[in-house]
Amino acid sequence: LAKTTQPISMDSYEGQEVNITCSHNNIATNDYITWYQQFPSQGPRFIIQGYKTKVTNEVASLFIPADRKSSTLSLPRVSLSDTAVYYCLVGLTGGGNKLTFGTGTQLKVEL
Amino acid sequence: ETGVTQTPRHLVMGMTNKKSLKCEQHLGHNAMYWYKQSAKKPLELMFVYSLEERVENNSVPSRFSPECPNSSHLFLHLHTLQPEDSALYLCASSQDPSGGASTGELFFGEGSRLTVL
């Protein structure tokens, strides 16, 4: 199982771009990189997923270098409501595979 | 609304009680999961059901007993729990190819907050 390492916490201000980097040095060839967001007392929510290069959706971008040993979640122009824990996961779901969550990154956005 | 509903949202029980947590998914998925989230700890995967068969039991004590009667419902039966079992229990579902791994997104419920006295 690929282990992930993320910063424990980050602080930002409204309107800024936030980049959260995740290291996953032993990522396997078939593994995908997925990011989830979790608010207190709620279940995590899918943000974005990618395999290589860059993926963008309406809420975030995901940058993955060629060696795939790390990835960066980019949140453009954050707001107070983006204050949450962000998890980087590496692997696949289903078929008995374990998709494990690490400690995540607590993002705090202030005015 | 994620399409995954968990009940009850809050539960307080004594160590000798027997209770059950229920999860229902309205997404037509074929895999369901139980996770445990204790205070200031990562989510811990407890059980995985794929096509109604248990495919993962992550060394969970026998006082936790899962049941998956069909692809839409998942239960977690609780008995003789300990105070350290107090946590947020999260159910999730995903759509996966038959018997194989996939990039399927996990859809989580809002969780059941369990307190064991």
For chain B, percent of residues with pLDDT exceeding 70: 94
- Which of B102, B4, B83, B47 minimizes the C-alpha distance to A43? B4
**Which pLDDT does position B100 carry in this prediction?**
56
Question: Is pLDDT of A95 > 60?
Answer: no
Q: Which residue has the higher pLDDT, A64 or B44?
A: A64
Q: By the CB < 8 Å criterion, does A34 face chain B?
A: yes
**Which pLDDT does position A93 carry in this prediction?**
64
**B contacts of A93 (beta carbons < 8 Å):** 31, 94, 96, 101-106
**Which pLDDT does position B99 carry in this prediction?**
53
**Which pLDDT does position B42 carry in this prediction?**
84
| Element at B76 (helix H, strand E) | strand B73-79
Provide the pLDDT confidence category of residue B97 given band limits of 50, 70 and 90: low
Convert the pLDDT of each residue in B11-38 to its tens digit: 999 888 899 999 999 999 988 999 999 9
Q: Which residue has the higher pLDDT, B50 or A34?
A: A34
Q: What is the pairing mode between strands B31-37 and A18-23? A: unpaired
Question: Is pLDDT of B51 > 90?
Answer: no
**A contacts of B101 (beta carbons < 8 Å):** 30, 92-95, 97
Q: Which of residues 18 through 57 in chain B touch A, CB cutoff 8 A?
A: 31, 35, 42-43, 45, 48, 50, 55-56
**Which pLDDT does position B4 carry in this prediction?**
96
How far is it, in rounded angstroms, from Cα B21 to Cα A32?
31
Q: Chain B interface, mutation test: which of A99, A100, A105, A106, most B Cβ atoms within 10 Å?
A: A99
- The tokens for A50 are 């990618």
Q: Does B105 sit within 8 Å of A95, measured CB to CB? A: no
- Which of B4, B7, B5, B31 minimizes the C-alpha distance to B19? B7
Convert the pLDDT of each residue in A37-93 to its tens digit: 999 888 999 999 999 999 999 999 999 999 999 999 999 999 999 999 999 998 876
Sign of CA dihedral B44, A75, A40, B78: negative
Q: Chain A interface, mutation test: which of B30, B41, B43, most A Cβ atoms within 10 Å?
A: B43
- The tokens for A54 are 């860059």
Residue of A nearest to B114 (CA): A41
**B contacts of A46 (beta carbons < 8 Å):** 105-107
What does the mean pLDDT of chain B come to? 89
Question: Is pLDDT of B113 > 60?
Answer: yes
Provide the pLDDT confidence category of residue B5 given band limits of 50, 70 and 90: very high
**A contacts of B29 (beta carbons < 8 Å):** none
Provide the pLDDT confidence category of residue B69 given band limits of 50, 70 and 90: very high
How far is it, in rounded angstroms, from Cα A63 to Cα A15?
20
**A contacts of B110 (beta carbons < 8 Å):** 41-43
How far is it, in rounded angstroms, from Cα A47 to Cα A60?
7
Q: By the CB < 8 Å criterion, does A46 face chain B?
A: yes
